[in-house]
Chain A
């Protein structure tokens, strides 16, 4: 059993931990980062669909690190069949599709926006939709820093209030262009753009943290297929592993411990004193620190607080509000497939996730007055399961009337693998108080810790109405693209979809939120909880760039405010 001392200990070396370790190290703080998985190298990554897509090599194992799910509190929980977050240094950004959005201005105040435009009754009674405790303008400098630091390719649609053709006309105003031009258009993008324009929508190249040109010593993308689900074989994907951890190393102030599973945040009264963790050899170790940062995926941010309860915090550390584990959200990802008779589309080429997008039906960018739901979805074209190889294609549903096996199925695969594209609507599902994360009383993981248990069912009236609306929009686009066959993919039977968020909500009121906008615990001022676990609402956009921007903002607050006068930042 080892005990070490440091200024800051950060749990999790993913999007949050990598950014904060590098930034706090640069500010002269001594940092220890704990990462339960390994630290891999670019040379480790193979172009292997079985290993990374099908067997999920870069994700936690459902067998040794189970997370359970039940649709409601009276149902039995069962282990989720697969995990969609990271399990190594760099976290989920190692395998992610690298879609990198700034949220819309109204995403930061969706509750107020809805009430002002449609009245309070438009919000479902049981939804806990809340405004963020910060505005887009406050976060903008940190979005800018994240985009330029890690390298994001895209086209501005709104430069300081001026609309720019070719970009997203609905985007919030940005101070300057993206650091890199958009990625090269592929056939699915070309077809989607033409179809969407025909319908009067506003398609544009999805911003990706993928290098369209060499940048900061890393090479440009080669459009090789092996993107989402994979580690990039040349480091052109701007993962935290290649974009921030080398910076953290260079400060000389950051030590990253791999194979280190944090199981408790230690505290004394209203102050945290450090963390305890199991080492790769099973050893039980302690780190004493002035500041503790929780930057794990949402399950563990909640689980660690619940596991670290004390007499002072009998319902979980930093949980005097009772909000820890509440308001779990997830994007549903309904799909529409488009098949072509007269041309090849070769969807497998290029970045595999959400290649080209229309933002016309996202956020409050369209009038919901006559609709039975609020908020929207990002609609993008790409690959099935965000991965373009043939194993991925074989897991998807063929058009109605085509069997899933046998000669007719074989002929379908042979014909359509190179002649289809698929759209996905990434829906902004609302938060609800009874969508929760807690500790499973029956299932334990490889460290004998109780598994995180999700209670969640997306099939609520507001959400199902939105899904149906978006599927119809995608069908319209599919026909406008010139598809000969347009068909729907199946919907999830209640399980949470992609990008799980919530559990340690941020807010302005200590009675209804866990942390303030800096991720600082209202209860414990030297405890910071950062990541999408703090999102009060989820938007229809992929969360990673916002997670990174919040991490930059928290690091800035710690280095420039908290370090000088430790205490409540607000």
Chain B
């Protein structure tokens, strides 16, 4: 958040206040910082080379079409507690669950935008009242307490949506983001499918596969777009 804001400020300063050359440097810095903030796990090629980069590299691991930054961070933190990542066990952040939910709310679930806005506002009131902090500033243990209270319907600040409805929806959407085909913006690199051992859109299983007591490992995991591009599906 702070790096992101710093980057945005630098961009604005560069654009309106300085000369062309200085401005370009500031823009680059801002771009680099933005990219770093958005994709902390990858190196930043734009900073080292590409002085004339004409577009930012989208990594589709955050938000951008529906949530504001505060709501995006809250949803990402909430989803991560529902499905926490650990070494060798990809969680909600690894699977880009936030990106899935953000895209869904701008598309198929547009009718639930108000549900989310109100739910997140109520969550904020509840957390500030109970812990004097917003959800994202709480410790993992405190966040789990909050989620448990919602699940049990104990957070009386919630009217619409009810605490349980909000919990159930975030849980369902987190699972969708973990396990739906990556074409929907989650399940990055098949993180969810790898977690549970699901081989994805396999076109067939053999009699030996069906009778096997072992995990299925014969074919690579395949998603819908790769399947369509290869032209391997269909009558």
- Give A residues with C-beta under 8 Å from B: 42-43, 46-50, 54-55, 63, 184-187, 190, 222-226, 233-235, 343-346, 348-350, 389-391, 393-395, 404-407, 409-411, 413-414, 417-418
**B175-203, CB < 8 A from A:** 175-176, 178-181, 184, 192-193, 195-198, 201-203
Tell me if B211 and A186 are in contact (CB < 8 A). Answer: yes
Tell me, in angstroms, the Cα distance from A465 to B202 when the chains sit together.
Answer: 42
Tell me, in angstroms, the Cα distance from A248 to B181 when the chains sit together.
Answer: 36
Measured CB to CB, the nearest residue on chain B to A408 is: B84
Measured CB to CB, the nearest residue on chain B to A242 is: B235
**B85-116, CB < 8 A from A:** 86, 89, 91, 108, 111
Supply 7 A–B pairs (Cβ within 8 Å), ascending by A. A42-B234, A49-B181, A55-B108, A225-B202, A233-B235, A345-B213, A348-B198
Interface readout for B60-103 with A: 1 if CB under 8 Å, 0 if not? 00000000000000000000011110100101000000000000
Tell me if A389 and B224 are in contact (CB < 8 A). Answer: no
Residues of A within 8 A of B84 (CB): 406-407, 410
Residues of A within 8 A of B151 (CB): 404-405
* A391-B179, A407-B84 known; A417 vs B198 contact (CB < 8 Å): yes
Residues of B within 8 A of A390 (CB): 178-179, 192-193, 196, 198
Nearest CB of A to B181, in Å: 6
Residues of B within 8 A of A407 (CB): 84, 86
The 3 A-B pairs of least Cβ separation, nearest first, read A222-B204, A50-B180, A417-B196
Tell me if B204 and A187 are in contact (CB < 8 A). Answer: no
Measured CB to CB, the nearest residue on chain A to B79 is: A405
Nearest CB of B to A322, in Å: 40
Tell me if A406 and B82 are in contact (CB < 8 A). Answer: yes
- Give B residues with C-beta under 8 Å from A: 81-84, 86, 89, 91, 108, 111, 144, 147, 151, 171-172, 175-176, 178-181, 184, 192-193, 195-198, 201-205, 207, 209-216, 224, 227, 233-235
Tell me, in angstroms, the Cα distance from A55 to B108 when the chains sit together.
Answer: 9
Tell me, in angstroms, the Cα distance from A349 to B147 when the chains sit together.
Answer: 34
Tell me if A344 and B215 are in contact (CB < 8 A). Answer: yes
Nearest CB of B to A234, in Å: 6
Contact pick for A394, options B108, B175, B224, CB 8 Å: B175
Residues of A within 8 A of B198 (CB): 348, 389-390, 417-418
Residues of A within 8 A of B82 (CB): 405-406, 409
* A222-B205, A233-B234 known; A185 vs B181 contact (CB < 8 Å): no
Nearest CB of B to A514, in Å: 38
Given contacts A224-B204, A348-B198, A414-B89, 15 further A-B contacts (CB under 8 A): A42-B234, A47-B203, A47-B233, A49-B179, A49-B180, A49-B181, A187-B211, A190-B211, A223-B204, A234-B235, A346-B209, A349-B216, A390-B178, A391-B180, A395-B175
Nearest CB of A to B54, in Å: 35
Interface secondary structure of A, over-half rule: loop
Nearest CB of A to B95, in Å: 11
Residues of A within 8 A of B176 (CB): 50, 54, 391
Measured CB to CB, the nearest residue on chain A to B168 is: A404
Tell me, in angstroms, the Cα distance from A223 to B198 when the chains sit together.
Answer: 15
Tell me, in angstroms, the Cα distance from A322 to B179 when the chains sit together.
Answer: 49
Residues of A within 8 A of B197 (CB): 344, 414, 417-418
Nearest CB of A to B227, in Å: 7
Tell me if A395 and B172 are in contact (CB < 8 A). Answer: yes
Nearest CB of A to B138, in Å: 15
Tell me if B89 and A233 are in contact (CB < 8 A). Answer: no
Tell me, in angstroms, the Cα distance from A346 to B227 when the chains sit together.
Answer: 22
Contact pick for B144, options A348, A391, A406, CB 8 Å: A406
Residues of B within 8 A of A234 (CB): 235
Contact pick for A47, options B83, B201, B209, CB 8 Å: B201
Tell me, in angstroms, the Cα distance from A547 to B137 when the chains sit together.
Answer: 59
Most chain A beta-carbon contacts within 10 A, residue among B81, B201, B214: B201
Contact pick for B210, options A185, A395, A404, CB 8 Å: A185
Tell me, in angstroms, the Cα distance from A187 to B208 when the chains sit together.
Answer: 10
Residues of A within 8 A of B108 (CB): 55
Tell me if A344 and B224 are in contact (CB < 8 A). Answer: no
Residues of B within 8 A of A394 (CB): 175, 178-179
Tell me, in angstroms, the Cα distance from A349 to B192 when the chains sit together.
Answer: 18
Tell me if A47 and B172 are in contact (CB < 8 A). Answer: no
Tell me, in angstroms, the Cα distance from A50 to B193 when the chains sit together.
Answer: 13
Residues of B within 8 A of A404 (CB): 151, 171
Residues of B within 8 A of A343 (CB): 213
Tell me if B175 and A346 are in contact (CB < 8 A). Answer: no
Nearest CB of A to B232, in Å: 11
* A233-B233, A346-B212, A410-B89 known; A47 vs B196 contact (CB < 8 Å): no
Nearest CB of A to B171, in Å: 6
Nearest CB of A to B88, in Å: 10
Nearest CB of B to A43, in Å: 5
Contact pick for B224, options A42, A47, A55, A345, CB 8 Å: A47
Tell me, in angstroms, the Cα distance from A233 to B235 when the chains sit together.
Answer: 7
Contact pick for A405, options B111, B171, B211, B233, CB 8 Å: B171
Residues of A within 8 A of B144 (CB): 406
Tell me if B205 and A43 are in contact (CB < 8 A). Answer: no
